[in-house]
């Protein structure tokens, strides 16, 4: 026959199957997007397919950023004022602006430095334009047009004379002596104020937007003053270059504000635009007034009007596109911020909930088990996998005083009272007992039906403990006798006072009316014992040893209203009025000398008695399992009020960013993160791309409209002066004549689209919209939409430039093709930057293609036109070449600005994305730990109490509800009691730890059999094993206590399962040998089927209990049964008649006190 350790060695991993099942539940849960790994052993039980899918999902989750997808429009509208430029609460708006300002500290400095460096290109384009004309092979009769640049007057004798260096110094003198110092001063002051605000901790960081806005406003004002001065030369002549330089200043200042100001406010940009346009109009008015002296039809006035019309149109398009882009960028930034806030709040709310849930469960565990045991189990993740762990949870205790208290006449009383009233009475009674435990330093061990078990010296009182170890030796008697006696006296005295208190308190609890009133009796004994945990289901903190058995025997044979105790107790507390009894035979103990301490009203009337007596009523303990603590109040307050100290998540540091990226931060080192980032950006820019295509089509249509308006202007000029018409608009304007046609409007427009180019540029946006929609609808990786958008804008730029160079109808005397190229690049690049949805690398690719095309075809075109113009003595090719030099320089300036802005925007977006990933991962790790702790605690808790009861108890904790919701009535329940034969004698002869190991081996086998037969283990009481089918598992038929009865429920399936389980436990017990005595573990088993009520009783060590006459009858079946037999009632045999039952008679006490004979049955196993 196998030994206990050999049989139980493989079954010490408590609850492993439960943990594995719970891991699967977490993996399948859709409410929380994460994977919980409980232990390596549990993961090995998962299928390979499930594990692979879980790992893939975890990897995908980890690279999702807080801004991976924008918030829904409905959610965004709920938190903002129309059109989304302000949050509804000032606190949210302030946090958004502060966070944006903090993340843009270095961006502002970069903007100032970039503008200062690039500003040199504005006078440089004037120089390049002049030097091109000055060095061009000009026809002899038109040489004055080359030498007199950049001035336009009626005097041909005043022209520039000097070298190229002189021309450069002429163009750069004003910039170097006046403009550059002023610009540097403005930017230095702006940088200082910006630094001061961010340096001062008490200053709102959003305030930094004010000096930045003022600096850009001053720059606009300076450009206005410079334009006023530039329009007139020192000798009073008009300089028309102010238009180009003012437009270049616009291209420098306005995009710089959008990219580098650190301000997300589109309204501030709108203010700058309005002021800039007002300045442009003012300078134009002043120039017009100057030119009126030459006449309204003079070439100078017409040229100024033409410049103004073309520049105003391009400025209008540029401003509208950038305004819309700024609006979309701000809405995107606000949506991303709101998404961060909502996700962070949601994540923290989950963490708070999990923390609270874990705390509730741990509080409940601390009610069920001693806190030291809970802490040790928590360190082991509530899994016991070795004997050393089991040994660490076990302790030897000396000088422990144990009390058993039970109600005499309870069986008769419960048969005469409704089960719900019995349960309420017991709950009220034990609530009083629980309240007295703290006053007397008593630890409640458990309740078994009407029995209340408590101890002093195990968890409370004075403890004389020793941890169990293989090599531990007992403390020598001469070293510990004195100390041990003091401990025993102290603990026994506490228990005696507690026994008196509960005896007095029991009389204050009103019992329901019945013929028999239950009366309390108490048994006490002091001695050594062993504590530990037994089994894998329904964990209980149990005491083992002869002291426990002796205390139980004292209460069994003791009279009512008395404390029955042993000689050991009397020797420790001799001052009490003990009453010596005759020696009596005690089961399993032999003949013992015992004593009584009577506890009638007269004995308990001592005014110095610390017992509260009737001063404590059950109504005073309505908080049930838990009392509301200050921590709970703080949790509830924080949940209700929300966070008042929220700060926006700041991007990662540069060092951290460099660790995760490569190639100047343009790529993440991990392709998974890079793909997630690109997908997130594509989702965010989905609507913007549609808007960009629509804006391009509208610009093309507006170009036609501008062509119509400019044609009318040309006709008015040509009708007044043929020479001016030919000089400014070319021969084609004269040949076209009056009348409106597509050809005439296109020739007068800036882009001058040919039919082929018009068809292509109108078809491409349609194709782009279709492909963009298809990718977002059908393709999983959305970043392909960015690639498609980039390809569309490259083709648009290509077709427009080819149209300007080759396809458009362009006479030799026309110089407008340079404006065509400039405007085409300006429109496409601006739309791509703000609405293309491409990263910096995409913008860089586009600009490289643009520069390659423009700077290759442009010089070729200029050279060919100049050669043809020299033959025909035409000045227009030279003017076009000089305009191309200026336009190319302006495009370089604008391209550098957009590329730097796109790069910094991409870097900032990637840093925030990475911060989101890391923040989310960190919160996920916290959440994983919280869920893991909660899951471990819940699983362990559900191994002590039914899952339904655990959830209801937690809800009661949150709502401070009443315990009535935990009680139920059940019908068709099969109940089993199993008890070891000769266990008391075995405990007397064997070391307590050996008893603990033996019971653990035995009950582990029983616990594993429970799942096979749908059996729920209710409790173990010493060597007694109590289980049911039909209360928590099996066929459930129950309702509330006040619900109707169900007499037709028989529970045949439950009874069949229970009989199978009873056979299995008897067979399993035969495989275990009692250590030391080397006798088999023989069981008595009693089974009965009927009804019962279930509920949780008490506030300390809450325990799921079943009560009722049928429960008592099942216990009686076991008590009166035979070893290795199943003793069953008549109801069981009626439901399972096919077994080999043997009739048996049993004499029991009826409710009226008379004896009656009951027919029962025995089944030999």
Report domain extents, the chain: 1-62, 71-122+173-357, 371-618, 947-1164
Summarised one tens digit per residue, pLDDT across range 945-956 is 777 777 766 666
Tokens of 851: 């520069």
pLDDT greater at residue 884 or residue 866 = 884
Lowest mean pLDDT among 456-465, 911-920, 1086-1095: 911-920
Tokens of 765: 């946006």
Q: Which pLDDT value is given to residue 613?
A: 45
When mean pLDDT is compared over 159-163, 219-223, 606-610, the highest value belongs to 219-223
Nearest-angstrom CA–CA distance, 1061 and 196: 80
- State the average pLDDT over residues 1077-1082: 85
Q: In the structure, what pLDDT confidence band is assigned to residue 43 with cuts at 50, 70 and 90?
A: very low
* HEC per residue, 110-176: HHHHHHHHHCCHHHHHHHHHHHHHHHCCCCHHHHHHHHCCCCCCCCCCCCCCCCHHHHHHHHHHHHH
Tokens of 363: 């509080």
> Cβ(386)–Cβ(506) under 8 Å?
no
Summarised one tens digit per residue, pLDDT across range 97-110 is 888 888 888 889 99
C-alpha distances out from residue 167 to 121, 170, 193, 566, Å: 15, 5, 39, 122
* HEC per residue, 622-644: CCCCCCCCHHHHHHHHHHHHCCC
Q: Which fold has domain 371-618?
A: Alpha-Beta Plaits (3.30.70)
pLDDT at 13 over 70: no
Tokens of 410: 């309870």
Q: Tokens 């490259």 sit at which residue?
A: 794
Element (H, E) at 1089: strand 1083-1097
> Cβ(1058)–Cβ(1064) under 8 Å?
no
pLDDT at 539 over 80: no
* pTM as predicted: 0.63
CATH number of 947-1164: 3.30.70.1230
Tokens of 62: 């980890």
pLDDT at 4 over 60: no
Secondary structure of residue 598 in the 3-state scheme: strand
Dihedral sign for Cα atoms in the order 714, 717, 721, 725: negative
Tokens of 912: 């925030």
- Count CB neighbours of 556 within 10 A: 15
Nearest-angstrom CA–CA distance, 150 and 156: 13
> Cβ(509)–Cβ(613) under 8 Å?
no
Q: What is the CA radius of gyration of the chain?
A: 47
> Cβ(1148)–Cβ(1115) under 8 Å?
no
**How deeply is 697 buried, as exposed, middle or buried, from its count of CB atoms within 10 A (0-12, 13-18, 19+)?**
middle
Which residues fall within 8 angstroms of residue 43, CB to CB, at 6 or more apart? 23, 37, 51
Dihedral over alpha carbons 145, 148, 153, 154 (to 10 degrees): -60
> Cβ(142)–Cβ(134) under 8 Å?
no
Tokens of 825: 């690049």
Q: How far apart are the first and last CA of the chain?
A: 18
CA 825 to chain centre: 45
Tokens of 898: 């957009």
Lowest mean pLDDT among 10-19, 253-262, 329-338, 934-943: 10-19
Nearest-angstrom CA–CA distance, 1050 and 1110: 13
Element (H, E) at 977: strand 968-980
- Count CB neighbours of 955 within 10 A: 12
Strands 451-456 and 519-533: unpaired
> Cβ(286)–Cβ(228) under 8 Å?
yes
Element (H, E) at 542: strand 541-544
pLDDT greater at residue 353 or residue 258 = 258
**DSSP letter (8 states) at residue 657:** H
Nearest-angstrom CA–CA distance, 685 and 681: 6
- Count CB neighbours of 821 within 10 A: 27
Secondary structure of residue 677 in the 3-state scheme: helix
C-alpha distances out from residue 83 to 73, 77, 88, 327, Å: 11, 8, 12, 9
> Cβ(624)–Cβ(434) under 8 Å?
no
Lowest mean pLDDT among 334-338, 838-842, 1133-1137: 334-338
- State the average pLDDT over residues 928-952: 71
pLDDT at 833 over 90: yes
Beta bridge partners of 659: none
Lowest mean pLDDT among 343-357, 441-455, 553-567, 1040-1054: 1040-1054
Nearest-angstrom CA–CA distance, 1103 and 558: 26
Nearest-angstrom CA–CA distance, 443 and 434: 9
- State the average pLDDT over residues 670-680: 88
pLDDT at 828 over 90: yes
Q: Which pLDDT value is given to residue 30?
A: 30
Nearest-angstrom CA–CA distance, 1071 and 1: 6
Beta bridge partners of 524: 403, 565
Q: Tokens 């997130």 sit at which residue?
A: 680
Secondary structure of residue 1153 in the 3-state scheme: coil
Summarised one tens digit per residue, pLDDT across range 466-507 is 776 654 444 444 344 678 888 999 999 999 999 999 999 998
Domains 371-618 and 947-1164 share a fold: yes
Which residues fall within 8 angstroms of residue 629, CB to CB, at 6 or more apart? none
Summarised one tens digit per residue, pLDDT across range 353-408 is 777 777 777 777 777 777 777 777 777 766 666 666 667 778 888 999 999 999 98
Least Cα distance to 231 among 222, 223, 239, 243 occurs for 239
Nearest-angstrom CA–CA distance, 42 and 385: 13
C-alpha distances out from residue 804 to 297, 846, 883, Å: 30, 18, 14
Residue 318 φ then ψ, to 5°: -60, -45
Least Cα distance to 267 among 86, 112, 91, 417 occurs for 86
């Amino acid at each position: 026959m196998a030994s206990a350790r050999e049989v139980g060695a493989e079954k010490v991993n408590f609850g492993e199957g439960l943990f594995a099942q719970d891991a699967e539940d977490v993996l399948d849960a859709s409410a929380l997007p994460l994977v919980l790994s409980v232990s390596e052993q549990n993961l090995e039980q998962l299928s390979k397919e499930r594990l692979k899918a879980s790992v893939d999902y975890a990897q995908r989750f980890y690279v999702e950023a807080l801004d991976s997808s924008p918030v829904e429009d409905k959610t965004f509208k709920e938190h903002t004022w129309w059109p989304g430029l302000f949050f509804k609460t000032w606190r949210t708006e302030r946090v958004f602006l502060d966070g944006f300002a903090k993340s843009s500290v270095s961006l502002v400095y970069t903007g100032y430095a970039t503008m200062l460096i690039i500003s040199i290109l504005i006078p440089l384009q004037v120089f390049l334009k002049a030097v091109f004309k000055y060095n061009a092979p000009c026809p002899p009769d038109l040489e004055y047009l080359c030498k007199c640049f950049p001035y336009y007057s009626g005097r041909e004798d005043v022209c520039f004379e000097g070298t190229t260096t002189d021309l450069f110094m002429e163009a750069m003198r004003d910039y170097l002596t006046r403009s550059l110092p002023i610009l540097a001063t403005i930017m230095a002051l702006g940088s200082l104020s910006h630094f001061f605000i961010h340096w001062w901790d008490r200053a709102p960081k959003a305030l930094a937007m004010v000096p930045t806005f003022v600096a850009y406003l001053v720059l606009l004002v300076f450009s206005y003053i410079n334009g006023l001065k530039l329009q007139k030369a020192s000798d009073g002549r008009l300089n028309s270059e102010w238009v180009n330089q003012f437009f270049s200043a616009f291209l420098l200042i306005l995009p710089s504000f959008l990219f580098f100001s650190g301000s997300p406010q589109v309204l501030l940009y709108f203010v700058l635009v309005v002021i800039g346009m007002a300045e442009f109009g003012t300078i134009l008015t002043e120039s017009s007034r100057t030119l009126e002296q030459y006449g309204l039809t003079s070439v100078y006035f017409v040229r100024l009007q033409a410049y103004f019309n073309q520049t105003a149109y391009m400025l209008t398009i540029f401003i509208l596109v950038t305004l819309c882009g700024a609006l979309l960028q701000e809405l995107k930034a606000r949506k991303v911020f709101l998404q961060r806030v909502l996700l962070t709040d949601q994540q923290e709310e989950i963490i708070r909930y999990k923390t609270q849930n874990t705390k509730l469960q741990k509080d409940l565990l601390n009610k069920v088990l001693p806190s030291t045991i809970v802490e040790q189990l928590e360190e082991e993740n509530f899994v016991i996998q070795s004997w050393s762990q089991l040994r660490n949870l076990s302790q030897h205790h000396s000088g422990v005083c144990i009390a058993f208290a039970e109600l005499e006449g309870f069986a008769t009383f419960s048969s005469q009272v409704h089960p719900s009233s019995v349960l309420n009475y017991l709950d009220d009674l034990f609530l009083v007992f629980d309240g007295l435990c703290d006053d007397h330093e008593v630890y409640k061990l458990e309740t078994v039906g009407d029995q209340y078990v408590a101890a002093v010296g195990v968890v409370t009182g004075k403890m004389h403990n020793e941890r169990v170890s293989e090599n531990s030796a007992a403390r020598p008697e001469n070293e510990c006798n004195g100390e041990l006696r003091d401990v025993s006296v102290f603990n026994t005295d506490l228990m005696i006072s507690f026994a008196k208190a509960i005896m007095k308190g029991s009389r204050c609890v009103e019992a329901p009316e019945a013929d028999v009133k239950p009366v309390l009796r108490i048994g006490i004994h002091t001695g050594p014992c062993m504590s530990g945990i037994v089994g894998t289901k329904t964990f209980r903190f149990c005491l083992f040893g002869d002291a426990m058995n002796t205390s139980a025997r004292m209460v069994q044979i003791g009279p009512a209203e008395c404390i029955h105790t042993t000689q050991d107790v009397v020797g420790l507390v001799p001052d009490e009025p003990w009453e010596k009894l005759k020696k009596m035979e005690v089961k399993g103990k032999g003949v013992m000398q015992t004593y009584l301490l009577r506890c009638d009203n007269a004995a308990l009337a001592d005014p110095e008695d610390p017992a509260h007596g009737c001063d404590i009523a059950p109504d005073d303990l309505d908080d049930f399992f838990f009392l509301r603590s200050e921590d709970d109040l703080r949790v509830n307050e924080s949940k209700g009020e929300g966070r008042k100290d929220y700060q926006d998540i700041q991007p990662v540091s540069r060092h951290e960013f460099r660790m995760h990226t490569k190639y100047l931060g343009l790529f993440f080192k991990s392709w998974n993160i890079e793909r997630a980032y690109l997908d997130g950006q594509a989702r965010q820019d989905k609507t913007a791309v549609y808007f960009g295509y629509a804006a391009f089509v509208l610009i093309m249509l507006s170009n036609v409209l501008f062509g119509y308006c400019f044609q009318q202007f040309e006709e008015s000029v040509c009708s007044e002066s043929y020479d001016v018409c030919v000089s400014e608009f070319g021969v084609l304007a004269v040949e076209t004549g009056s009348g409106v046609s597509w050809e005439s409007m296109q020739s007068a427009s800036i882009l001058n689209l040919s039919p082929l180019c018009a068809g292509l540029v109108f078809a491409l946006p349609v194709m782009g919209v279709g492909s963009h929609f298809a990718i977002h609808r059908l393709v999983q990786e959305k970043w392909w939409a960015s690639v498609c958008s980039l390809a569309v804008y490259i083709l648009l730029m290509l077709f427009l430039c080819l149209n300007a160079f080759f396809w458009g109808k362009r006479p030799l005397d026309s110089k407008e093709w340079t404006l065509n190229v400039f405007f085409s690049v300006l429109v496409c690049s601006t739309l791509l930057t703000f609405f293309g949805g491409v990263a910096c690398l995409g913008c860089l690719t586009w600009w490289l293609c643009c520069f390659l095309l423009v700077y290759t075809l442009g010089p070729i075109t200029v050279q060919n036109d100049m050669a043809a113009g020299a033959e025909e003595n035409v000045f227009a090719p030279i003017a076009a070449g000089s305009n191309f030099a200026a336009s190319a320089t302006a495009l370089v300036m604008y391209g550098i600005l957009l590329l730097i802005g796109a790069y910094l925007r991409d870097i900032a977006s990637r840093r925030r994305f990475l911060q989101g990933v890391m923040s989310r991962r960190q919160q996920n790790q916290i959440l994983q730990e919280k869920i893991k702790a909660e899951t471990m605690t819940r699983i362990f808790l559900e191994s002590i109490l039914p899952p339904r009861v655990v959830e209801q108890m937690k809800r009661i904790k949150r709502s401070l509800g009443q315990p009535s919701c935990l009680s139920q009535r059940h019908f068709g329940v099969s109940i089993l009691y199993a008890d070891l034969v000769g266990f008391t004698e075995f405990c007397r002869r064997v070391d307590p730890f050996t008893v603990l190991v033996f019971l653990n081996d035995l009950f582990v086998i029983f616990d594993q059999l429970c799942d096979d037969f749908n059996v729920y283990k209710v409790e173990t009481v010493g060597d007694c094993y109590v289980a049911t089918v039909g209360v928590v598992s099996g066929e459930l038929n129950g309702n509330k206590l006040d619900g109707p009865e169900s007499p037709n429920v028989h529970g045949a399936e439950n009874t069949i399962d229970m009989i199978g389980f009873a056979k299995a436990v008897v067979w399993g017990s035969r495989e275990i040998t009692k250590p030391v005595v080397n006798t088999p573990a023989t069981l008595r088993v009693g089974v009965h089927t009927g009804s019962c009520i279930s509920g949780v009783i008490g506030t300390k060590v809450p325990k799921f209990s079943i009560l009722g006459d049928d429960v008592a009858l099942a216990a009686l079946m076991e008590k009166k049964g035979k070893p290795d037999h199943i003793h069953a009632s008549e109801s069981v045999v009626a439901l399972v008649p096919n077994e080999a039952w043997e009739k048996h008679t049993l004499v029991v006490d009826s409710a009226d006190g008379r004896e009656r004979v009951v027919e029962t049955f025995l089944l030999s196993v």
